[in-house]
Amino acid sequence: MLWHALSLQLGYNATLVAIGATLLGLSCGAAGTFLFLRKRALVSDAISHATLPGVAIAFLVMVALGGDGRWLPGLLIGSALSAWAGLWVLNRFVARTRLSEDAAIGAVLSVFFGFGVVLLTVIQSLGTGRQAGLEGFLLGSTAGMLYQDALIIAGGGVLTLLALLLIRRPMLAVSFDPDYAAARGVPVARVDMAMMVLVMCVTVVGLKIVGLILIVALLIIPSVTARFWSEQADRVVLLAAAAGGLSGYVGAAISASAPNLPTGPIIVLVSFALFVLSLLLAPGRGVLASVLGQMAFRREVHLRQGLLALAQNQPVYEPLTRRLLRRAGLTRADGVATEAGQAQAAKALRDEARWQIARADPAHDSIAVLYDGLRAIETVLTPDQIAEIDRRIGAPQAVTP
């Protein structure tokens, strides 16, 4: 069943949901990266919760006009207007009061969401018969999604991606260093507002699939996941979009293969699973790479200390050090240094003396910060500089690496 869902062979509605969720995940991952880099992840939380009153008010207005209160375009327009109002209030609080941004976010989030819950309660008591499914905007609901609904979601995701491509350069500049961006002539306030508008658009588009509560996770988790795999900003944006799209696609497929599972929460759980895998396995920044790096560093320290002990005819007592020296062919089973071990021990002792001279010389101040007891001095000084230090030491210079 899952394979049929992944290969889009599970029916028309399941295919619509999978395509829409994939495009939504792509746009959420890309847009959320800029918030993550800008260190304004909580703003997305305020925007998403601010959409709820707009959904309820739009429903009431459409019912009052004699229309279907569940008409998706009308509900999305209402949520967009409400989110814009919440964003405006948030910016005014930060600009005109002494409230910090996180405090303002908490105020806007709680007030708008509380107002929305009150309106939903009022709607449920009206008994119009057309409010069924409206609560799906909280956690997402794809049951009975129509072609027009999927087209709106997919089109919104594509338009958001295109807008991100057009203004990604100034947004990256503002995300990393707004002061430098302002000095280069980038309108920081406008770029910030454009960033918030794009996040608002993604949030509104994703209400039907993921819901206003969980859309925050789809905005932030893919960008955090991507950050484990790259140091380049453009690549992080692409990887975050890919992680978001994959989460949407796989999550929608799992939900379609098990109809009792809600689509939005499953998409978020798949996104979290990708985050956990990245946390554990990413090269350079993952837990496994960190553990392996620490183990390698520990081995280097033991080898270095063992070589210095051999060079000074001191016994090596540490079992791990003796074992590492023996495995590297630097000592025999009885602990006596081999020829290779004697040569490397002499070089280790010579390098220590070289580092002491270099660190004490004002001409080499720039390399003092590089000394960690393990770094080869040949990686920071030229052969001529090393030869000059050897002359100052006044000891034999025939020690080879």
DSSP conformation letters of 180-215: HHHHTT--HHHHHHHHHHHHHHHHHHTTTTT-TTTH
The C-alpha atoms of residue 256 and residue 77 are separated, in whole angstroms, by 28
Residue 271 confidence class, pLDDT cut points 50, 70, 90: very high
* pLDDT score for 395: 53
* pLDDT score for 1: 67
User: Which 8-state DSSP code applies to residue 262?
Assistant: -
The C-alpha atoms of residue 105 and residue 91 are separated, in whole angstroms, by 9
* pLDDT score for 302: 92
Q: Which long-range contacts (CB under 8 A, 24 or more apart) does 335-343 make?
A: 337/310, 341/307, 341/310, 342/310, 343/399, 343/400
Give this prediction's pTM: 0.81
* pLDDT score for 400: 40
Residue 399 confidence class, pLDDT cut points 50, 70, 90: very low
Q: Scanning the structure block, which residue is given the tokens 């500089």?
A: 385
Q: Single out the residue of 189, 177, 187, 200 nearest to residue 31, CA to CA.
A: 200
Structural element, H or E, at residue 10: none
Both structure tokens of 191: 């770029």
Establish how many alpha carbons lie within 13 A of residue 1's alpha carbon, considering only the half-sphere containing its beta carbon: 8
Give 299's contacts (C-beta < 8 A, 6+ positions apart).
Answer: 324
Phi, psi of 125 (to 5 degrees): -90, -5
Q: Are 57 and 112 in contact (CB under 8 A)?
A: no
* pLDDT score for 142: 65
Give 149's contacts (C-beta < 8 A, 6+ positions apart).
Answer: 20, 72, 208
16-57: pLDDT as tens digits:
788 888 888 999 999 999 989 888 888 888 888 899 999 989
Task: Pinpoint the residues of the chain covered by CATH 1.10.3470.10.
Answer: 2-282
Task: Tell me the sheet residues that pair with 337.
Answer: 331
152-208: pLDDT as tens digits:
877 888 888 888 888 888 998 898 888 888 998 889 888 988 888 888 888 888 887
Mean pLDDT, rounded, of the chain:
85
* pLDDT score for 154: 79
Per mean pLDDT, which of 5-9, 143-147, 383-387 is the most reliable? 383-387
Residue 231 confidence class, pLDDT cut points 50, 70, 90: confident
* pLDDT score for 401: 40
Give the mean model confidence (pLDDT) for residues 98-115: 89
Q: Are 312 and 349 in contact (CB under 8 A)?
A: yes
Q: Scanning the structure block, which residue is given the tokens 């999927």?
A: 150
Residue 326 confidence class, pLDDT cut points 50, 70, 90: very high
Q: How far separated are the first and last CA of the chain, in Å rounded?
A: 62
The C-alpha atoms of residue 44 and residue 269 are separated, in whole angstroms, by 19
The C-alpha atoms of residue 200 and residue 214 are separated, in whole angstroms, by 14
Give the mean model confidence (pLDDT) for residues 248-256: 89
The C-alpha atoms of residue 140 and residue 134 are separated, in whole angstroms, by 10
Task: Report the percentage of the chain scoring pLDDT > 90.
Answer: 30
Residue 398 confidence class, pLDDT cut points 50, 70, 90: very low
Q: Are 196 and 87 in contact (CB under 8 A)?
A: yes
User: Which 8-state DSSP code applies to residue 328?
Assistant: T
* pLDDT score for 70: 75
* Amino acid occupying residue 95: A
CATH architecture of 2-282: Orthogonal Bundle (1.10)
* pLDDT score for 84: 93
Task: Tell me the sheet residues that pair with 331.
Answer: 337
CA distances from 15 to 19, 56, 152, 265, 335 (A): 6, 29, 15, 18, 69
Q: Which has more pLDDT, 76 or 274?
A: 274
Q: Scanning the structure block, which residue is given the tokens 């905007």?
A: 137
* Amino acid occupying residue 65: L
The C-alpha atoms of residue 391 and residue 389 are separated, in whole angstroms, by 5
| Nearest-10 Cα torsion for 276, 278, 280, 284 | -150
- What angle is formed at CA 170 by the lines to CA 167 and CA 172, rounded to 5 degrees? 100
Q: Are 28 and 113 in contact (CB under 8 A)?
A: no
* pLDDT score for 164: 87
CA distances from 342 to 243, 337, 389 (A): 52, 6, 22
Classify residue 206 as left (phi > 0), alpha (psi -120 to 50) or beta.
alpha
Residue 306 confidence class, pLDDT cut points 50, 70, 90: very high
Task: Report the percentage of the chain scoring pLDDT > 70.
Answer: 93
Instruction: Give the burial class of 260: count Cβ atoms within 10 A of its Cβ; 0-12 exposed, 13-18 middle, 19 or more buried.
Output: exposed
